Structure 1
Amino acid sequence: MSSAIVFFMLYFQRKKFQYAKERGELEKQYGEQLLQSRLEMQEQTFDTISQEIHDNVGQLLSLAKLQLSLLEKKEAGDKVLITEIKVNVGNALNDLRDIAKSLSTSRIQELSLLQAVEHELQRINRAEAIVCKVEVSGNEHQIAEQKKIIIFRIVQESLQNILKHAQATTINVVFDFAEKLNITIEDNGVGFITGEKEKIETGLGLMNIVKRAKLIMGEATINSVINNGTKITLTIPYV
C-alpha cells in the first residue's frame, strides 16, 4: 500500500472522528438549550397559574368567606356549621395563596434560596401529615437568580415526589454551604430499588432532578432502600 493511500485513509478517519465529536457536542448543546427553553416555558406557565389562582380562585373564596360572615351575623341557619364552613374556606384560601407564592417566579426572586425552601417546608408542615426539618451548615452564599430558581425547582420536585409516592412521615433537608452548595433531601418513606436503572430513567420527577442539576453544572445522586426511605444529594457550584 502506497504512502498516499495510507495518508488519505488516516485523513478520512480523522475527519470522521472529528465529525462524530462535533456532532456529539452539537447534540449536547441542543439538548441543553432545549431543556433551558422548557424550563423557561415552565416558569412562564407557573407565573400564569399563580396569577390565575390569585385573581380568580382567590377572589371567589374571599367572596364566599364574606358571604358566610354576613350570613352568620343574620343568625340564620346552623351557626356551628356556618362557622366550620367559614374556617374551611379560610384554610383553603391560605393554602391557595401559599401554592400561588411557591409557583411565582417573582416571589422566589424576592427571597434567598434558603428562605424559599423554608417557606415550602412550612407549607407542608401545616398539613400536619409530614414533619419537615431544615438544617444549615456554613454561611449562605449569593447565587445568581436563574440558578437559584432552578435549584429551588429541583428541591420542589424532590418534595413533590415524596408527597406523591414515599408515604413518609418525616422529611429532612440539609443545606451545607461549603466550597460547593450541597443539599440533602431525605425521607423515611417506602423507598425503591435504585439498582433498577429504568426506575430513574423513566420516572419523570427523578429524571427532571438529574437533568436540571446537569444544566447548572451540578450533580444529583439518588439513593433509596426499600422500606427505609430515599436520599437525594445535590452538589452544585455557586457560579
Structure 2
Amino acid sequence: MRPRSTFLLLAILPLLLTLSLIAVAMFQQQQDLSRRERQVIEQATMAAKEAELLNLAGMARSALTPLYESRRDDPETIAEALRLLARLDYGIDGYFFVFDTGGRNLQHPRQPELQGQDLWNLRDTQGVPVIRELIARAHEGGGFVRYLWEKPSTRKLAPKLAYAISMPRWNMVIGTGVYLDDIQVTLARLDAQVDENIAKTMWWIAGIAVLGVVLIAGSGLALNLSDARVADGKLRNLARQVVKSQEDERAHLSRELHDSTSQTLVSIKLLLESAASQLGRERTPAALHRAVQRLGDALHEVRRISHRLRPAELDTLGLPAALDDLAEEFNQHGRVRVALQLWGDAQALPDEVNTVLFRVVQESLTNIEKHARATRVNVRLIFHASGLRLRIVDDGVGFDVPTIRADPRRGIGMRNMRERVESIGGSFSIESRPGRTAVLADLPTEAIQRLRAPQQAAA
C-alpha cells in the first residue's frame, strides 16, 4: 500500500472509530435517560391514580357514614347503601363494586350478570386472585390491587388499579378502580419519541461520518491529483531531457562523421586518385579503380548517415527546409511520392519543436515505406492562430490502431512519436483505415511560447 493511501486510511479509521464510540455512548445515554423518564412518569402517574382512588374511597365512605353510624344492619339499610354507591358513578369506566367477605358479588354497575355469583376463586389472565386480594387489602384497613379486568368502554381486558375498604358490621367490601391503559399509551408514545430521537441522532452521526470521510477522501484525492500533476511534469521534463540527450548525441555523431570520418575518406580518395593519375590510365590496376569507386560509395553513405542522424538544415534553415530536404530524399530513392505543403505564415520555432516534429515525419515516412504499401504521402505543416499542426496522410493499406497500441511487441515507433509530442506539451493521434492513414500532431501556442522562453533567455 502506498504511503498516501496508508495516511488516508489512518485518518479515516480513527474518525469512524471515534464517531462509532460517540454513537454507542449517546445511544446508551439516551436509553438510560429514557428509562429514567419512563420510571418518573410512571411513578408520578401511579401516584396521581392512587391519590384519586383514595379520594374516591373517602367520598364513598363519607356518603355511607350516616347510614353506617345509625347502627342499622337490616336489609333495607344495606339496600339503601348499595343505591347510594350506584349513584356515585363517575363516567363509563368509573364505578363502585361491592362484595361480601366471602367473595359473593353484591353489586357491579357495569356487569350486572356477576351479581350474586361467588367469585372467591376468580383469577385474571395473569393468575392474580382478584377478589381474595381485594378482600385481604380491605381487611388490612384499605389497600391497592393491580390486575386485568374488562374495560366497559372498549370491552377489552386492560390493566386496572383498584382500592378496597371494608364495612365490617355489614360484612361488606367496597372497591373502585381506574384503568391504566392510558399510562401504557403515554409510555408507548414516549418510547416512540425516544426511538425517533435516537434514530435522528444516529442519522446525524452517520451524516457527519460520511461528510468527514468525503472531506478526507477529497483532500486525499486533491493531494493525489497534485502529486500526479507534479509527477507528470517531472516525467515530461525527463522525457524532454532524454530526447534532448539523444538529439545532442545524434548531432555530435553527425558532426563527427561529417567533420572527421568524411574528411578522412575524402583525403584517402584524393590520394588514391592522385596515385592513379601518376601511374597513368594504362598502368593503373583495375583494383585501384574499384577501390576509388568503393571509397566514393562509402563517402556517400557516410554523408547520408550523417544527414539522417541530424540534418544541418534543421539547425540552420529551420523545420520547413529540413522537411523539404527529407521529402526530396525519400522521392529520390523510394517508391513513395512525398508532397510537402506549408499553410499559414511560417515562423521560427524552438529547437525542441523542430526536432520533435522532424522526427515524427521521419519515423512516419520510414513506417510508410516499410509497411503501408502506399504510393503517395501528403505532409502538411499548418501554422494557425492557435498553434501548429503537423498532418501526414498516406493512401496505404492502413492498420488496426487499437490492436497495435495494445501489443507491447509492436507499435514502438508509434509510442515514441506520441511520447515525443506529449513531452513538449502537444497532442498526438493516429486514424487509420484501408486506403487512408492520418498522423496528427497538434501543438498549442502556449506550449510553443513556453519552450521558446528559455531559448530567448539564453540568447
Structure 2 length-normalised TM: 0.45
Q: Secondary structure at the match of 2:322?
A: helix
Seen in structure 2, the aligned counterparts of structure 1 residues 164 and 199 have a Cα distance that, compared at 3 Å, is: farther
Residues 390 and 442, structure 2, Cα contact 8 Å, conserved in 1: yes
| Runs (5+) with no aligned partner, structure 2 | 1-201, 449-459
Hey, what does 1:134 align to over in structure 2?
340
RMSD of equivalent CA atoms = 3.0
Q: Secondary structure at the match of 2:285?
A: coil
The correspondence for 2:383, drawn from 161, 171, 177, is 177
Q: Secondary structure at the match of 2:240?
A: helix
Residues 173 and 184, structure 1, Cα contact 8 Å, conserved in 2: yes
Structure 1 residue 117 displacement after superposition? 0.8
Q: Which moved more, 1:9-18 or 1:108-117?
A: 9-18
Which amino acid is 1:192 matched to? F
Alpha-carbon distance in 1 for matches of 2:267, 2:417: 39
> 1:2-49: CA deviations, max 9, x gaps?
376455333322222222212321231222122112111111221222
Hey, what does 2:424 align to over in structure 1?
216
Which amino acid is 1:173 matched to? V
Would you say 1:191 and 2:398 are equivalent positions? yes
The correspondence for 2:413, drawn from 195, 199, 205, is 205
| Runs (5+) with no aligned partner, structure 1 | none
Structure with the greater relative contact order (CA < 8 A, sep ≥ 6): 1 or 2? 1
Q: Which moved more, 1:34-43 or 1:172-181?
A: 172-181
Hey, what does 2:122 align to over in structure 1?
none
Q: Which moved more, 1:199-208 or 1:107-116?
A: 199-208
The correspondence for 2:242, drawn from 38, 43, 46, is 38
Alpha-carbon distance in 1 for matches of 2:286, 2:328: 34
Which amino acid is 1:99 matched to? I
For these two proteins, the number of residue pairs brought into alignment is 236
Seen in structure 2, the aligned counterparts of structure 1 residues 201 and 143 have a Cα distance that, compared at 3 Å, is: farther
Residues 192 and 224, structure 1, Cα contact 8 Å, conserved in 2: yes
Would you say 1:231 and 2:435 are equivalent positions? no
> Which of the pair has more CA radius of gyration?
2
Which amino acid is 1:54 matched to? H
Would you say 1:27 and 2:235 are equivalent positions? no
Q: Secondary structure at the match of 1:141?
A: coil
Which amino acid is 2:392 matched to? I
Residues 187 and 229, structure 1, Cα contact 8 Å, conserved in 2: yes
Q: Which moved more, 1:149-158 or 1:65-74?
A: 65-74
The correspondence for 1:48, drawn from 245, 252, 255, is 252
Which amino acid is 2:421 matched to? A
Residues 201 and 207, structure 1, Cα contact 8 Å, conserved in 2: no
The correspondence for 1:158, drawn from 364, 368, 378, is 364
Structure 1 length-normalised TM: 0.81
Alpha-carbon distance in 2 for matches of 1:123, 1:8: 65
Q: Secondary structure at the match of 2:401?
A: coil
Would you say 1:93 and 2:93 are equivalent positions? no
Which amino acid is 2:371 matched to? H
Seen in structure 2, the aligned counterparts of structure 1 residues 207 and 100 have a Cα distance that, compared at 3 Å, is: same
Hey, what does 1:17 align to over in structure 2?
221
Alpha-carbon distance in 2 for matches of 1:68, 1:127: 29
Q: Which moved more, 1:158-167 or 1:139-148?
A: 158-167
Q: Secondary structure at the match of 1:185?
A: strand
Alpha-carbon distance in 1 for matches of 2:428, 2:409: 13
Seen in structure 2, the aligned counterparts of structure 1 residues 103 and 130 have a Cα distance that, compared at 3 Å, is: same
Alpha-carbon distance in 1 for matches of 2:442, 2:389: 5
Hey, what does 1:111 align to over in structure 2?
317
Aligned-residue sequence identity (percent) comes to 25
> 1:85-117: CA deviations, max 9, x gaps?
645543542343243244337752211210111
Hey, what does 2:121 align to over in structure 1?
none
Which amino acid is 1:26 matched to? V
